[in-house]
Amino acid sequence: MGSPLVLASGSEIRAQLLRNAGLDPQIFPARIDEDMVRESLLAESAPPRDIADTLAEMKALKVSDKTPGALVLGCDQVLDHQGTLFTKADTLEQARDQLQRLRGSRHMLLSAAVICRDGKPLWRHVGQVRLYMRDFSDAYLDAYLDRNWNSVRHAVGCYKLEEEGVRLFHRIEGDYFNVLGLPLLELLSHLALIGEIDG
């Protein structure tokens, strides 16, 4: 790695994906009020893609001001279900309600990533995945949440594809990494292209 890489995210899976790829990011979560930003953008009818991109950029910019010379990666993922934006569930009851609304239909995950250096955006990408959820029973849903709530509470959509969440789907169009929250292939290709990693 040429310049130091900073991941402006508290997402464990994002850090793990970068480490598994051989990178060694410094973890520096950006503390921004995502709900406030999301609500104000929704009030302006901003599309989900723009909301994810704006939040990712804000996180990267905020941390890049504190890490001179570093490449700072900000990320944000939103779930779009027929025009309605879903955020992470705060309670198990909210998770049940969300999954009852998502089952038997298609939703989109939009995973935005922005790289900034010294307060300037250098690169951005929004990965998009279409996910088709099975029409599973309430009995399975309750059992799924009993087993997985403590894990999936940290994930938008209340599922983790690398865990039991995979059983919720019958079809997924898009790449696995975008589901987990990071357009990893595009990111690594760009870092190699600009010579920040070998490849």
Ligand X SMILES: Nc1nc2c(ncn2[C@@H]2O[C@H](COP(=O)(O)OP(=O)(O)OP(=O)(O)O)[C@@H](O)[C@H]2O)c(=O)[nH]1
Using CB under 6 A, list all residues that contact ligand X.
9-11, 13-14, 29, 75-77, 155-157, 160-162, 165, 179-181
Catalytic: which of 76, 80, 142, 146?
76
Give me the least distance between CB of 131 and ligand X, in Å please.
Answer: 10
Give me the least distance between CB of 151 and ligand X, in Å please.
Answer: 8
Cβ-based neighbour number of residue 131 at 10 Å = 24
107 DSSP assignment: E
- Please list the alpha-helical segments (H only) found in the chain: 12-20, 34-43, 48-64, 92-102, 138-152, 176-180, 184-193
Q: Is residue 198 annotated as part of the catalytic site, yes or no?
A: no
Give me the least distance between CB of 27 and ligand X, in Å please.
Answer: 9
Q: Which is nearer to ligand X, 173 or 199 (CB)?
A: 173
Give me the least distance between CB of 146 and ligand X, in Å please.
Answer: 19
Q: Which is nearer to ligand X, 97 or 199 (CB)?
A: 97
Q: Which is nearer to ligand X, 143 or 166 (CB)?
A: 166
Can you say whether the dihedral through the CA atoms of 153, 178, 63, 191 is positive or negative?
positive
Instruction: Tell which residue, 96, 109, 103, has the closest CA to residue 153.
Output: 96
Q: For ligand X, which residue has the nearest CB?
A: 181
What is the rounded radius of gyration, in angstroms, for the C-alpha atoms of the chain? 17
Q: Which is nearer to ligand X, 29 or 68 (CB)?
A: 29
Instruction: Tell which residue, 77, 126, 81, has the closest CA to residue 108.
Output: 81
**Which are the catalytic amino acids?**
76
